[in-house]
Chains A and B, each alone.
Chain A
Amino acid sequence: MFKKMTPAQKTEAKWGLLFVAPTIIGLIVLNFYPIFNTIYQSFCKTGDFGKGNTFVGLANYAKVLQSSETWQSLWNTVKYAIIEVPFGIIIALVLAVLLNKKIAGRSIYRTIFFLPMVCAPAAVAMVWKWLYNTQFGLLNNIFHTNVAWISDPKIAWISIGVIGVWSIIGYNMVLFIGGLQEIPGDFYEAASIDGAGGFRQFFSITVPLLSPTTFFIVQTRIIGALTIFDLMFMVMDKTNVALKKVQSIVYLFYQYAFTNGNKGYGATLVVLLLVFIMIITVILQQVEKKVVYHN
Chain B
Amino acid sequence: MEGAEARAKRNLVITHIVLIIMAFIMLVPFAWMVLTALKTNQESISVNPFYIFPHNGWHWENFGTVWKSYNFIVLYKNTILMIFFRVLCACLTATMAGYAFGRLKFPGKRVLFSLVVTYLLKTGYEGLPKELEEAASIDGCSVPGRFLHIMMPLTRSSMVSLGIFTAVFAFKDLMWPMIVCTNANTTTLSAGLAKMQGQYGSEYPTMMAAATLAVLPMVIIYVIFQKQFVEGIATSGGKL
Contacts and interface: CB of A to CB of B under 8 A. Distances in A.
Interface of A: 1-2, 9, 11-17, 19-20, 22-24, 26-27, 91, 94-95, 98-99, 101, 103, 105, 107, 109-124, 126-128, 130-131, 135-136, 138, 141, 166, 169-171, 174-175, 178, 198, 216, 220, 229-230, 233-234, 237, 250, 254, 258
B174 A19 contact: no
B116 A121 contact: no
Contact of A141 (B15, B26, B47): B47
B193 A20 contact: no
Contact of B106 (A12, A122, A123, A169): A12
A136 B47 contact: yes
Contacts, number: 204
A230 B174 contact: yes
A159 B99 CA distance: 46
Contacts of A174: 230, 233-234
A114 B106 CA distance: 42
Interface string B24-62: 011111101100100000001101001000000000000
Contact of B25 (A24, A124, A166, A234): A166
Interface string B178-209: 11000000000111011001000100100110
A15 B144 contact: yes
B25 A27 contact: no
B71 to A, nearest CB: 17
A166 B27 CA distance: 10
B73 interface: no
Contacts of A124: 29, 215
A130 B207 contact: yes
A12 B101 CA distance: 12
B1 interface: no
A11 B222 CA distance: 43
B172 interface: yes
Given A12-B105, A117-B168, A122 B174 contact: yes
B107 A2 contact: yes
Contacts of B219: 115, 118-119
Contact of A123 (B12, B44, B214): B214
A103 B107 contact: no
18 contacts: A19-B99, A20-B106, A23-B96, A23-B97, A27-B115, A27-B116, A103-B12, A103-B15, A109-B19, A118-B171, A119-B172, A122-B214, A130-B204, A130-B207, A130-B208, A136-B44, A136-B204, A141-B47
A167 B86 CA distance: 24
B93 interface: yes
The 9 closest A-B pairs by CB, nearest first: A16-B106, A19-B100, A16-B104, A15-B143, A23-B97, A123-B211, A13-B106, A19-B96, A122-B190
A120 B172 contact: yes
Given A101-B15, A135-B45, A122 B194 contact: yes
Contact of B94 (A9, A23, A24, A141): A23
B18 interface: yes
Nearest to B218: A118
Given A111-B230, A122-B194, A127-B29, 11 more contacts: A16-B100, A20-B106, A20-B112, A23-B116, A95-B19, A98-B19, A99-B19, A111-B222, A123-B215, A234-B174, A254-B175
A24 to B, nearest CB: 6
Contacts of A95: 19, 22
A138 B142 CA distance: 64
Interface in B76-132: 89, 92-94, 96-97, 99-101, 104-109, 112, 115-116
A27 B119 CA distance: 13
Contacts of B208: 126-127, 130
Nearest to A24: B112
